């Protein structure tokens, strides 16, 4: 029985009513691609590019980057691959990019802010991505569907800056991560300037709760079930529906099988997670229709705190439909 289960084809992510919810992988290195595919990832929802930059004292060359991006794209022919440009800050400082002496690194020159201050690095990364895309277009397997997004976007202006620059380099699908409350609150304006949004629930929770995600003494605040976080996610989901644009989730929250249902109920159109979480989330989504998911989300949104939101969602999920 085990052998036949292992060899059964893995179905794409979907709700009980057939609504497709693509299930994608978070990857930090192209080396993880094969495992992700084996576990049924329908593409990549977050490719973190920091690994290319963190290991040396200088920025990687365009050719070094192109090699990694080509390896990644080649593993997903015909599939969506969302690459995030460098997310460096004083918490993961780079000698050629950051001043490591900020008192509050999470609130400092990080993400798109740091890239703008060293725009040559961003331009080189976009060049390497466009070249990798072009290189895989010529392969017999065909190209992946490359999407590129910026981290830590806090303003509409940063959104239009990034998407315009990415398009200048031939990137066809350019979006932003929504992981700062300001961009969640203005999601309808942000999405007017971006092709898609991807919600980073790790940072969105940190900034909503004003609790450093790396600090053990405030770890109890780092809970994406908090209704304040869920309400911000709903803003982004509503904006996505308004503009007819995709809203993905790529923070840890997407890997929680019940929270995944809530996120879909709030308007998420795809979920990206560590590949090992895909099977449980896939099984969970199959138990709920979109109407169910919305009802479960409403129950969580109405709660006072994270623990009661989780309980309310559990209760709503168990209730007869
Ligand atoms: C997030 O903040 O949720 C996210 C996906 O990005 P990272 O964890 O790399 O900051
Ligand atoms: Mg983040």
Reported ipTM:
0.99
Mean pLDDT to the nearest integer, 236-252: 98
CA neighbor of 11 nearest in space, from 43, 34, 40: 40
As a whole number of Å, the end-to-end CA separation of the chain is: 32
Instruction: Find out whether 150 and 84 touch, Cβ atoms under 8 Å.
Output: yes
What is the band of 28 on the pLDDT scale with cuts at 50, 70, 90? very high
* Per-residue pLDDT reduced to its tens digit, 145-176: 999 999 999 999 999 999 999 999 999 999 99
* Per-residue pLDDT reduced to its tens digit, 79-127: 999 999 999 876 677 878 876 688 888 999 999 999 999 999 999 999 9
Which ligand is nearest the CA of 47, by number? 1
**pLDDT score for 1:** 40
* Per-residue pLDDT reduced to its tens digit, 263-321: 999 999 999 999 999 999 999 999 999 999 999 999 999 999 999 999 999 999 998 65
Q: Is 135 annotated as catalytic?
A: no
Instruction: Find out whether 204 and 180 touch, Cβ atoms under 8 Å.
Output: yes
Q: What spacing in Å lies between the alpha carbon of 204 and ligand 2's midpoint? A: 8
**pLDDT score for 6:** 57
The secondary element (H helix, E strand) that includes residue 257 is helix 257-265
Return the ligand 1 atom nearest residue 198 CA.
5
Q: Rounded to two decimals, what is the model's pTM? A: 0.96
Question: Sign of dihedral through CA atoms 287, 288, 289, 290?
Answer: negative
The secondary element (H helix, E strand) that includes residue 45 is strand 43-48
Q: What spacing in Å lies between the alpha carbon of 194 and ligand 1's midpoint? A: 19
Residue nearest to atom 6 of ligand 1 (CA): 200
> Binding-site residues, please?
48, 84, 179, 202-203, 213
Question: How many residues are recorded in the chain?
Answer: 321
Instruction: Find out whether 263 and 249 touch, Cβ atoms under 8 Å.
Output: yes
Catalytic residue among 25, 250, 263, 306: 250
Cα 202 → chain centroid = 10
Where does ligand 1 bind, in terms of residues with CB under 6 Å? 46, 48, 87, 179, 200-203, 250-251
CA neighbor of 166 nearest in space, from 131, 127, 197: 127
> Binding-site residues for Mg(2+), please?
179, 203
Counting beta carbons within 10 angstroms of the beta carbon of residue 36, is it exposed (0 to 12), middle (13 to 18) or buried (19 or more)? buried
Mean pLDDT, the chain, integer: 94
Q: What spacing in Å lies between the alpha carbon of 18 and ligand 2's midpoint? A: 31
């Amino acid at each position: 029985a085990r052998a036949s289960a292992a060899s059964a084809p893995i179905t794409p992510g979907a709700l009980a009513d057939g609504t497709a919810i693509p299930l994608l992988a978070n990857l930090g290195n192209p080396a993880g691609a094969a495992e992700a595919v084996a576990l049924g990832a329908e593409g990549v929802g977050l490719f973190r590019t920091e690994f290319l930059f963190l290991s040396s004292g200088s920025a990687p060359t365009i050719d070094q980057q192109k090699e990694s991006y080509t390896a990644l794209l080649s593993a997903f022919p015909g599939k969506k691959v969302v690459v995030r440009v460098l997310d460096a800050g004083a918490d993961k400082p780079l000698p050629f990019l950051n001043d490591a002496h900020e008192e509050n690194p999470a609130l400092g020159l990080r993400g798109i802010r740091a890239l703008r201050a060293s725009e040559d690095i961003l331009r080189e990364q976009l060049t390497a991505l466009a070249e990798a895309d072009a290189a895989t277009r010529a392969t017999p397997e065909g190209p992946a569907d490359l999407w590129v997004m910026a981290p830590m976007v806090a303003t509409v202006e940063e959104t239009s800056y990034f998407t315009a620059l990415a398009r200048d380099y031939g990137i066809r699908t350019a979006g932003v991560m929504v992981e700062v409350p300001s961009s969640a609150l203005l999601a309808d304006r942000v999405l007017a300037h971006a092709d898609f949004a991807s919600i980073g629930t790790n940072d969105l929770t940190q900034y909503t709760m004003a609790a450093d995600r790396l600090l053990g003494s405030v770890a109890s605040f780092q809970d994406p079930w908090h209704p304040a976080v869920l309400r911000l996610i709903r803003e982004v989901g509503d904006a996505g529906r308004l503009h007819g644009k995709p809203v993905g989730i790529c923070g840890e929250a997407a890997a929680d099988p019940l929270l995944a249902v809530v996120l879909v109920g709030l308007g998420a159109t795809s979920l990206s997670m560590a590949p090992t979480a895909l099977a449980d989330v896939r099984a969970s989504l199959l138990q709920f229709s979109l109407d169910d998911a919305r009802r479960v989300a409403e129950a969580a949104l109405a709660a006072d705190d994270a623990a009661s939101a989780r309980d309310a969602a559990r209760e709503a999920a168990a209730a007869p439909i």
